Amino acid sequence: MTSLQHIINRRDWENPISVQVNQVKAHSPLNSFKSVEHARTNTQSQKQSLNGQWDFKLFDKPEAVDESLLSETLNSDWQNITVPSNWQLHGFDKPIYCNVKYPFAVNPPFVPSDNPTGCYRTEFNISESQLTQRNHIIFEGVNSAFHLWCNGQWVGYSQDSRLPSEFDLSELLVAGTNRIAVMVIRWSDGSYLEDQDMWWLSGIFRDVNLLTKPQNQIRDVFITPNLDACYRDATLHIKTAINAPKNYQVAVQVFDNEQTLCEPQIQSTNNKRVDEKGGWSDVVFQTIDILNPKKWTAETPYLYRCVVSLLDEQGNTVDAEAYNIGFRKVEILNGQLCLNGKSLLIRGVNRHEHHPENGHAVTTADMIEDIKLMKQNNFNAVRTAHYPNHPRFYELCDELGLYVVDEANIETHGMFPMGRLASDPQWAGAFMSRYTQMVERDKNHASIIIWSLGNECGHGANHDAMYGWSKSFDPSRPVQYEGGGANTTATDIICPMYARVDTHIADDAVPKYSIKKWLSLPGETRPLILCEYAHAMGNSLGSFDDYWQAFREYPRLQGGFIWDWVDQGLSKTDENGKHYWAYGGDFGDELNDRQFCINGLLFPDRTPHPSLFEAKYSQQHLQFTLREQNQNQYTIDVFSDYVFRATDNEKLIWQLMQNGICVDQGEHVLNIAPQSTHTLTIKTKTAFEQGAQYHLNLDVALINDCSFASAEHVLNTEQFKLINSNNLSSKSFASSSEQNAISVSETDSHLCIENDKFKLVFSKQSGLIEQWLQNDTQIISSPLVDNFYRAPLDNDIGVSEVDNLDPNAWEARWLRAGIGQWQRTCSSIHAVQSNVDVRITCVFNYQFNRVLQAKTQWLYTLNNTGNISLNISVQLNDTLPPMPRIGLSTTLNKQSDTKVNWLGLGPFENYPDRKAAARLGYYSLSLNELHTPYIFPTDNGVRSDCQLLSINNLTVTGAFLFAASEYSQSMLTQAKHTNELIADNCVHVHIDHQHMGVGGDDSWSPSTHKEHLLEQKKYNYSLTLSVKS
């Protein structure tokens, strides 16, 4: 018996050659059914779950683990913990978030001596009949390394947090109660290969199962479907590894629900084969021809059930395994990634396994929710960033229809150089093990169309070896790998990250061309699919539609995978009981990368960011063209870029909008063949009114429920502005015919303009409105002032640290220019009265460090109705960087029923470079509904292309953007979490003439496109302010 001390002294966790000891060879998932019918229906598997409450104790380091781990009785200081889970989320130790840097000193293969070690124990029962069979324990995921004992005897060791670790316990079990003990070590040499952009969490975080199989058994099955040259008929190649006598047989059956697709194919096990290895007979090869099966695609995820059974001499089923299979063929043809002979357009997203309460322990329900949300928002592909996912996830992708890039659990981003271990032969086994075991486990899934060698670990001989093995073992799938420049010999697909559409990113070592340029490089014939793009960190995803215009224009640009799916915030409650989402540093993890894990299209609870709507629209499968309009008749071309399915469950709902309000509507059933155009005519009954504006809204919704969404779910949208349609004219500024003469009075300190309806008082010193009354009601609670500042977005902050600003980031440039800190003085104010109105001119100077930064002139024109026509001109210092915004701000008194009504783009938040999905309409929302609660608070809630805004008694007309919030820009700037935001008793209103785009090609360089930068030095705009009677 190997002693505990001896095992600890081995220090396997600091030996890159020792990646597994006594572990069962990797294979496809096994269930062990007793009959073909059980296998077909996936019932009565011989797999027993060991999930539940286990005994747990955390030690400071492996050397501190005592004999209580293996004793028959427990000390009182052991506690309970749920398996699967991460121990940091149960009050033991602390989560750590780092993006690039390791949370320990880099000295591979050595790890810190202070190395938290979680010890687990549980018991389970074994029957007498089970003892006559083989019993394997399977840990689906343990972070980061562990030793295993059974009934006090050491079993083995394993690392690689994201793949199964399987051990044969057969010789150690007894009838009745059995005890296993697991020593999980937080840091191991394997941690150097797991430097992914996620939380460092530990423990047994995936399922633990006991698999019982007969002595004569199926050990593995490899099913490879292939289609003929016409992509019609199929051949199924089945390779079955067995432990069985030579007079046994292997039978293969393919089922379509309850119907058999073919006669059972039976092959004897005694066909001894001879090759370079010598004689061997533990593998059976079979081939089945299938005439014109239904094909699997993400659009039409049709699955068959393949049952492989082992028969004894009498033909009885000894063991059976079954897999859902899809008939499909993946190829690269003429520089394009193709499925079943058709070119694909990848609408992809990177997904971490993350739950805000459970960390990396995700359930089937969590997976289904994510996949359905992806499908509902027009995604068709997912990259398992950056590791193999829970095996159930691939089954669900097969069933619901997603293309999968399955990625090996290898990333050394914090290593310098990044490819240091990729070229080290001492680490070759670890690299190869992580890749080959992933492929062995996942090889039968139709949804997996691409293998990935890992992420951000440079390029070296170890990658070339992995690529070569892959091409030998599974030539049916292409391989991709971004490291080393995205176009090395170890990838079949050019797969850069964050390459831009038209702009090159300078890098002497590894050039990052624009995606258009990459295609034209001499000798380059591969397809380009971005492995990561459109960094969705906070208020982001600007200019996303530019990518999709390029994807649709250039056939070899075949899409990409957005970074990323969900904010990796963890649930936390402050001392006042207020909930917020935590990120790096919030658990006392001093070495951290703050909120860089908060870059999803969804909040942790799976509610959407506004950017998700932009992605959904840009990726939608139907494209609309308003071809003709005559009187009340409109001809629409609808092109379907579905590749494999007709739109046989969709209807088009149209609405005629007058000034943002629906005045007519109807429906058309759509049935469009793949890659085809359908023309339809819409007839309305509404006559256009003079001075009104009209839009045609189109929604394509499901008629009936489908596998991923309910009836009426909208997948495609469009809006057309119709001819003979005008923007809403500004509120009439004509004087009232009533005899309400305006009086102008002046003191040393104030200027007062009033009649019996309104009163407007200016401070002559500040030049600002101090009082605006209409029928004795105060309209604004603070003056109207110039506003050039926005609370910095993540994309504005770049890679700045708390004590070290990135000098190239927008935030740093704005701070150097003092934007938000300028001192305002009024250089002049004067009023001129005519027979019909009064004009007040105010001139303001803005200084920073005694240098004039800006000069503005406000011209108020008032008539006897109390309406204000406001014209503002802005002159900026030539040395200023592009501005965050050009506009004005004020505050209004907040009322219990304050609603914000506007005619403009909505209903969700939109910015100048992220507004393709928004539609012009008349909307009404509360302040809370206008606010986007970004986990790291920033400017938010802007609505673009507005013509009318009404809040309380104030109405604004013109052409502008606006935001209305319970929080000031100062509070949004200072707060680091949502729980720090305290609502004011007023409404902060921002009316912008122009607003800088949010950017989003990446979040660490100034990524806002030039056309969305405010680079001009002169601006002029006009608004009309009026008061509701």
Query: Which is it for strands 346-350 and 557-563: parallel, antiparallel or unpaired?
Result: parallel
At residue 45's C-alpha, the angle toward residues 43 and 48, to 5°, is 130
CA count, 13 A, side-chain hemisphere, 1022: 11
Q: Which of 495, 501, 466 is nearest to 482 (CA)?
A: 495
Is the distance from CB of 602 to CB of 565 less than 8 angstroms?
yes
Q: Where are the beta strands (DSSP E) in 603-740?
A: 622-630, 633-640, 650-658, 661-670, 677-683, 694-702, 714-721
**How far, in Å, CA of 972 to CA of 980, rounded?**
9
Is the distance from CB of 975 to CB of 984 less than 8 angstroms?
no
Q: Which amino acid is at 355?
A: H
DSSP string, 414-457: TSSSTTTGGG-GGGHHHHHHHHHHHHHHHTT-TTEEEEE--SSS
Q: Tokens standing for 87? A: 């121990």
Q: Left if phi > 0, otherwise alpha if psi is -120 to 50, otherwise beta: which for 958? A: left
DSSP string, 338-366: EETTEE--EEEEE----BTTTBT---HHH
What secondary structure letter does DSSP report for 686? P
Is the distance from CB of 948 to CB of 924 less than 8 angstroms?
no
**How far, in Å, CA of 551 to CA of 558, rounded?**
6
Q: Where are the beta strands (DSSP E) in 764-897?
A: 769-774, 777-778, 782-787, 823-833, 838-848, 851-862, 868-876, 885-893
Q: Which of 492, 557, 545 is nearest to 519 (CA)?
A: 557
**How far, in Å, CA of 843 to CA of 767, rounded?**
8
Q: How many Cβ atoms are within 10 Å of 508's Cβ, its own excluded?
A: 5
Q: Can you say how many angstroms the Cα of residue 952 is from the centroid of all Cα atoms in its chain?
A: 38
Q: Which residues are catalytic?
A: 456, 532
